[in-house]
Amino acid sequence: MDKLVIEGGIPLQGEITISGAKNAALPILCASLLAETPLKLSAVAKLKDVGTTITLLEHMGVQTSRSEDRVVLDASHIHTQEAPYEMVKTMRASILVLGPLLARFGHARVSLPGGCAIGSRPVDLHIKGLQAMGAEIHIEHGYIEAHAIKLKGARYFMDMVTVTGTENLMMAACLADGTTVLENAAKEPEVVDLAECLIKMGARIEGAGTDIITIHGVERLHGCDHQVVCDRIEAGTYMVAAAMTGGCVKLNNARAELLDAVIEKLRDAGVTVESDATSITVKSNGKLKAVNIRTAPHPAFPTDMQAQMMALNTIADGVAKVTETIFENRFMHVQEMQRLGAQIEVEGNTAIVRGVPKLEGATVMATDLRASASLVLAALVASGETIIERIYHLDRGYENLEEKLTALGAKVKRTS
């Protein structure tokens, strides 16, 4: 298994380009199932989760071709509407095939996603929403069996804000009979990007980016050209890296308006953040103030940046309260950060972080994607060498991580 070896203490300097967003690419790849002609995507990052999604779609009969950051998907002929356990278990987002399959083919058989390291993460709202649209759904032998000769438009209130739930139902509603109104919908930029792609495919969607999305069903959808939105979480992670190391980093293909909550917190911590329409520059003298964080659905502070901001707080001046409200078990980075000398106490869904002057290199283990990213950040400022084991999690969400960090002057190498 690969490990990352990081020599800490170097202020990051220079510029890098942010990749297309993983969390936008995954639903948009699945949206190809709705189209009768090829969907042509660009800015599709080379990530493990993207590869897993493409393999799943190919298993169903989607013809795909890939070169550089471009992917073409042709779902004109599908030979199975089944997403098997072996594929779904490695990636929860596989549930995103459920809505499109059911809407276009009237049937889907999708394995229930298994347990997940960051909490139980049920899919009940996806299922209830499809049932509200007239689908018959049974859970049998660990599979969601869904049937509907033709989905019908419906008004559906989601009693929790769910990103993939909103995406699944929005995709299904595109081919339903009549109008669907999704209330308390997720407002994440990746939902908006999916909606923009669906609209180019011929869908009639209003309100994406607000908490009420209205979808007027159409008979059929076609392919289109679409460039995936930039990855705000990847950008946010490098912004924290620049802040923690006392560096100056320019991120190209990054949009500040997607990162308001993160930028606000970095400024509170004493970091300078400047931006134009397509880039963000972060400057820091390395002297950071502790900042309280409370995660919540967009536009509030994203749970996918919680671990990284906790890393910043471990070396900031003062005491920070980090509260996680989205996932119940998302503090697995804490005990690994403690191995690097961080002072953190966890009480329920809140972590109290007391900043220390210095972290010290040690061997740590990556446990999930963003936890792994936070350990990389801690390692970049720890004295001596830090070895991060099980870095396959990072390959799920960060394209060319070592190359990008090396381009900024960090001493990072991957070993087997």
Question: Which parts of this chain interact with ligand UD1 (CB under 6 A)?
Answer: 23, 26, 92-93, 119, 121-126, 160, 162-165, 190, 303-304, 326-327
In 3D space, the residue among 315, 274, 310, 272 whose CA is nearest the CA of residue 292 turns out to be 310
CB 130 within 8 A of CB 169: yes
In 3D space, the residue among 100, 68, 104 whose CA is nearest the CA of residue 194 turns out to be 100
CB 69 within 8 A of CB 20: yes
Provide, rounded to whole angstroms, the least separation between the CB of residue 106 and ligand UD1.
22
d(CA 158, CA 19): 31
Amino acid letter, residue 296: A
* Virtual torsion, Cα 310, 243, 388, 190, nearest 10 deg: 70
Provide, rounded to whole angstroms, the least separation between the CB of residue 4 and ligand UD1.
21
Nearer to ligand UD1 among residue 17 and residue 325 (C-beta): 325
Provide, rounded to whole angstroms, the least separation between the CB of residue 22 and ligand UD1.
7
Nearer to ligand UD1 among residue 272 and residue 329 (C-beta): 329
Nearer to ligand UD1 among residue 184 and residue 227 (C-beta): 184
Question: Would the CA dihedral through 363, 369, 370, 373 be positive or negative?
Answer: positive
**Which residues form the catalytic set?**
116
Provide, rounded to whole angstroms, the least separation between the CB of residue 52 and ligand UD1.
12
CB 122 within 8 A of CB 164: no
Nearer to ligand UD1 among residue 238 and residue 301 (C-beta): 301
Provide, rounded to whole angstroms, the least separation between the CB of residue 21 and ligand UD1.
9
Q: How far is CA 262 from CA 300, 303, 326, in A?
A: 9, 11, 16
CB 359 within 8 A of CB 387: no
Q: How far is CA 100 from CA 90, 144, 172, 327, 337, in A?
A: 20, 14, 5, 26, 41
Nearer to ligand UD1 among residue 96 and residue 378 (C-beta): 96
d(CA 242, CA 273): 10
Provide, rounded to whole angstroms, the least separation between the CB of residue 261 and ligand UD1.
12
Nearer to ligand UD1 among residue 303 and residue 372 (C-beta): 303
d(CA 326, CA 160): 10
d(CA 142, CA 243): 45
Provide, rounded to whole angstroms, the least separation between the CB of residue 5 and ligand UD1.
27
Nearer to ligand UD1 among residue 191 and residue 362 (C-beta): 191
Q: In a 3-state reduction of DSSP, which class is residue 330?
A: coil
d(CA 178, CA 362): 58
Q: Any idea what the Cα angle at residue 388 is, between residues 163 and 279, rounded to 5°?
A: 50
